[in-house]
């Protein structure tokens, strides 16, 4: 273990987080006039003017400032910003009649889409639990538990397991196809694992731990490929694999075909999701008191598939996606996969000690710091070519915001500190 190299990574991450990334958001995102956060910024970091406040962007920004405060940054300023966001969520986005948070508002806080989407609600649980852990404000946990309970009543599939994901305002399941009522996804269930982890950490309630363990088992036995251990994106209600289609309420489809169907729709996996799942699973096991050894086969499959096929050893960074067996389909470099691989490879190296994980971290770190971060402005570019040329240049919209980039730096620093401490003791 090269201690000087680890220190350099840590110094770069700390400098970027404290002098570029957090200041970018602190100085721009607070909407003093209407409450909540402004989350759309162009390539120069200017407000691009979109008249929307999405549940996903508002909750993720609450998480960002809560987690940064909890990690010791901001000297109390970030707790105040997080509170500002929680006030907006509870006062404006909460459906006082039917419960749950609306999916989309305009800037002033008027409802634009009143549907209840589990993907967004998972981030409500995650961010509000983190907010209570960070600040002690009990409202966060109160509303996180309310959402959790609504999920058990309306969302849980008590026959096949897991959760349905797309509901109208009154919690009636939406129709089939693009409406999404007949599908289940890796994305939503992985983020529910993340949410239930932090909910249990905040509440200490056995029911939250039980549902966390249940969803871990579901992810491993139903959602991960039975041979390769890689994530399968979409399923029918009975957990048979469904072709990946575009939903009316969409995420992650900005770059794909207009006909609503992906090429290789039944055989694709995301390297970023697989590594994100692995490190989130390790964190869930930490919080629930379960040893990593119980899930070692799955963890190593998740990490090693990305090492074998997802890391670009020539240009650095991690590819978007490919087949379960290993063929790479999309060699572009998207911001969030890089962010998650940074955390995951440090965890893999920390626990398993194999140098290949540190090499994968290095290849991704260098690509991010040399190509993906817009150092002049402070945030990450969203999408680059394989070689690192910008394709998209905006700094933020509803799907990008700050959750991946800030969390990646905060959590990478935590892991680099652990590795440095281990090295000093060794």
CA distances from 254 to 191, 199, 304, 334, 340 (A): 20, 31, 28, 12, 20
Which pLDDT score, from 0 to 100, does residue 186 have? Answer: 96
Q: Picking from 20-34, 189-203, 229-243, 261-275, which range would have the lowest pLDDT averaged per residue?
A: 261-275
Tell me the β-bridge partners of 166.
117
Which pLDDT score, from 0 to 100, does residue 43 have? Answer: 97
DSSP 36: S
Which pLDDT score, from 0 to 100, does residue 265 have? Answer: 65
Which pLDDT score, from 0 to 100, does residue 246 have? Answer: 87
**Strands 328-330, 321-322: parallel, antiparallel or unpaired by DSSP?**
antiparallel
* Res 256 pLDDT > 60: no
CA distance 12 to 28: 23
List helix spans (H) across 232-368.
Answer: 271-288, 296-305, 335-352, 355-367
* Res 122 pLDDT > 60: yes
Q: Decide which of 258 and 23 is more confident.
A: 23
* Contact present, 154 and 167 (Cβ < 8 Å): yes
Average pLDDT, integer, range 92-104: 98
Closest of 315, 409, 407, 419 to residue 358, by C-alpha: 419
DSSP 258: T
Average pLDDT, integer, range 359-371: 98
Which pLDDT score, from 0 to 100, does residue 250 have? Answer: 72
Which pLDDT score, from 0 to 100, does residue 262 have? Answer: 55
Domain boundaries, the chain: 3-424
* Res 254 pLDDT > 70: no
DSSP 17: I
User: What is the per-residue pLDDT across 161-183, written as a single tens digit (0 to 9) for each?
Assistant: 999 999 999 999 999 999 999 99
Average pLDDT, integer, range 73-90: 98
CA distance 118 to 240: 20
DSSP 172: P
User: What is the per-residue pLDDT across 225-236, written as a single tens digit (0 to 9) for each?
Assistant: 999 999 999 999
User: What is the per-residue pLDDT across 24-43, written as a single tens digit (0 to 9) for each?
Assistant: 999 999 999 999 999 999 99
Output the pTM of the full model: 0.97
User: What is the per-residue pLDDT across 195-224, written as a single tens digit (0 to 9) for each?
Assistant: 999 999 999 999 999 999 999 999 999 999
Which pLDDT score, from 0 to 100, does residue 290 have? Answer: 98
* Res 240 pLDDT > 90: yes
- How many residues are present in the chain? 426
* Res 92 pLDDT > 60: yes
- Topology of the domain comprising 3-424: Glycosyltransferase (1.50.10)
Any idea what the Cα angle at residue 199 is, between residues 412 and 118, rounded to 5°?
Answer: 95
Neighbour-count burial of 36, counting CB atoms closer than 10 A to its CB (0-12 exposed, 13-18 middle, 19+ buried) = buried
| Four-point Cα dihedral 17, 19, 21, 26, nearest 10 | 120
Q: Give the phi and the psi of residue 8 in degrees, each rounded to 5.
A: -65, -45
User: What is the per-residue pLDDT across 287-305, written as a single tens digit (0 to 9) for each?
Assistant: 999 999 999 999 999 999 9
Averaged pLDDT of the chain = 95
Closest of 399, 414, 408, 348 to residue 373, by C-alpha: 408
Structure tokens at 127: 């961010």
Helix (H) or strand (E) holding 237, with range, is: none
Percent of the chain with pLDDT over 70: 96
């Amino acid at each position: 273990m090269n201690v000087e190299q680890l220190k350099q990574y840590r110094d770069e991450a700390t400098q970027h987080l404290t002098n570029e990334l957090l200041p970018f958001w602190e100085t721009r995102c607070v909407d003093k006039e209407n409450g909540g956060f402004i989350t759309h910024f162009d390539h120069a970091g200017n407000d691009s003017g979109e008249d929307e406040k999405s549940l996903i962007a508002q909750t993720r920004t609450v998480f960002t400032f809560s987690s940064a405060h909890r990690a010791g940054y901001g000297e109390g300023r970030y707790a105040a910003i997080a509170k500002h966001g929680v006030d907006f969520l509870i006062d404006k986005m909460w459906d006082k009649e039917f419960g749950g948070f609306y999916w989309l508002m305009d800037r002033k806080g008027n409802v634009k889409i009143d549907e209840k989407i589990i993907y967004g609600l998972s981030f409500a649980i995650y961010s509000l639990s983190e907010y209570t852990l960070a600040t002690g404000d009990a409202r966060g946990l109160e509303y996180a538990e309310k959402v959790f309970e609504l999920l058990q009543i309306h969302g849980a599939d008590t026959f096949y397991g897991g959760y349905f994901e797309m509901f109208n305002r009154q919690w009636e399941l939406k129709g089939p196809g693009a409406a999404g009522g007949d599908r289940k996804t890796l994305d939503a269930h992985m983020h529910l694992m993340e949410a239930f982890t932090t909910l249990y950490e905040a509440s200490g309630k056995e029911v939250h731990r039980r549902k966390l363990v249940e969803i871990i088992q579901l992810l491993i036995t139903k959602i991960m490929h039975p041979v390769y251990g890689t994530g399968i994106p979409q399923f029918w209600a009975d957990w048979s694999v469904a072709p990946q289609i575009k939903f009316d309420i969409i995420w992650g489809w900005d770059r794909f075909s207009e006909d609503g169907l992906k090429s290789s729709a039944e055989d694709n996996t995301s390297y970023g999701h697989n590594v994100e799942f692995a490190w989130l699973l390790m964190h869930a096991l930490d919080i629930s008191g379960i040893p990593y050894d119980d899930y070692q086969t799955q963890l190593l499959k998740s990490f090693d598939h990305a090492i074998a096929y997802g890391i670009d050893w020539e240009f650095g960074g991690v590819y978007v996606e490919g087949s379960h067996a290993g063929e790479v389909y999309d060699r572009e470099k998207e911001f969030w996969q890089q962010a998650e691989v940074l955390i995951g490879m440090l965890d893999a190296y920390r626990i398993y000690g194999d140098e290949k994980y540190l090499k994968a971290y290095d290849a991704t770190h260098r690509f991010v710091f040399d190509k993906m971060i817009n150092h002049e402005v402070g945030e990450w570019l969203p999408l680059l070519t394989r070689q690192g040329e910008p394709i998209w240049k905006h700094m933020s919209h509803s799907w990008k915001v700050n959750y991946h980039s800030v969390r990646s730096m905060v959590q990478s620093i935590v892991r680099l500190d652990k590795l440095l401490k281990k090295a000093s003791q060794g």
